Amino acid sequence: MDELATAPSRRARDLGLVTGRFAPGPYGAITDVPGVRVGHVTLREPPLVHSGVTAIVPGDVHPGAPLPAGVFAGNGYGKLIGSTQLAELGALETPVLLTSTLSAFRAADALVGWMLERPACAEVTSLNPVVGECNDGALSDIRARPVREGHVRAALDGAAGGPVAQGCVGAGTGVAALGFKAGVGTASRLVEAGGQGACVGVLVQANFGGTLRVLGRTVSPADVGVPGPRDTPQAGSCMVVAATDAPLDARQLARVARRAVFALARTGAAYGHGSGDYAIAFGVRPGGPPPPDAGLDPLFEGVMDAVEEAVLDSLLAATTTTGPGGRTRYALPADRLLRLLGRG
């Protein structure tokens, strides 16, 4: 088992591949939103296990101090635990976990146990754990359900602000997208919402089908000289978590979540039958007067740009990985990509 991954990776922006007109925050990550922390635990036992768990922890969230939130399912083929109450009440009561499909249920139980130990939850008799997943069965023994309670607790306890490790870490260890090895990606944008300055940050767990598009150009594995997938596993899905310090209400955050899923189309997403494409958006400033909807356009634009960048970062930071049975997903080679785009 690898320890908590904390080092930043090479990124699209470093290569001159810039999406949109808004500047990123200091870390170009979801952690640019005040109070948001991220923790990864990565599990590798080659060739059988490439899996893990990622925790997105917004401050001291708990049932007595929930955060406004919205959720959107672009295609509901997935196991987003806690989604119905999240949609009904528009309130996030726990951190958000991302992991492997068949480990999601153990992760939810571990999250409940961790929450009940918080001093603020001493009298709690009901809470709604939120856990998203992607199927990493092409590159990991998913039936082994390798993510256990200790791993979840380590991700939660180790969550930190600042730079966020990307690529084959945490929940992104065994995933693939758009014909290449993928993983976790993150990005942020400094925007306006209702005339007020705001930050919006996203984190993606990318594991979906389609043909990659980079700044509008289609890029297949053959275009950059690597083998494409030879098998067509049942796996799929993309989880997007968005956070903002704009004082949005739950209804407005659901609108943000929709744009986060829409943005996957820019990257070439096919939204296939077996792909669970979800987004959760939460705000870290509850209770304030929400801005008028007519003032949200820059924020909508910013979240779409951030998702596009985060997906590309998830590919560029990933490394070629071979799983059970010799199944291999090849990394996107940055140098060849730049030459293809006429920038190398």
Q: Which residues are catalytic?
A: 237, 275, 277
Helix, strand, or coil (residue 56): strand
> Is the distance from CB of 227 to CB of 330 less than 8 angstroms?
yes
The structure tokens listed for 286 are 């509850």
DSSP 185-211: EEEEEEEEETTEEEEEEEEEEE---B-
One-letter amino acid for residue 264 of the chain: L
Beta strands in 61-208 (DSSP E): 67-76, 91-92, 96-100, 130-134, 176-177, 180-181, 184-193, 196-206
Beta strands in the chain (DSSP E): 36-45, 49-58, 67-76, 91-92, 96-100, 130-134, 176-177, 180-181, 184-193, 196-206, 212-214, 217-219, 238-244, 276-283, 321-322, 328-329
Query: Burial, 22: exposed, middle or buried (Cβ in 10 Å; 0-12, 13-18, 19+)?
Result: middle
The alpha carbon of residue 156 and the mean position of all alpha carbons in its chain are separated, in whole angstroms, by 16
> Is the distance from CB of 217 to CB of 51 less than 8 angstroms?
no
In angstroms, the first-to-last Cα distance of the chain is: 37
> Is the distance from CB of 56 to CB of 186 less than 8 angstroms?
no
Q: Which of 34, 6, 75, 71 is nearest to 201 (CA)?
A: 34
CA-CA distance, 276 to 272, in Å (whole number)?
A: 8
| Pairing of the two strands 36-45 and 49-58 | antiparallel
- Which strand (E) or helix (H) includes residue 257? helix 250-262
What is the number of residues in the chain?
A: 344
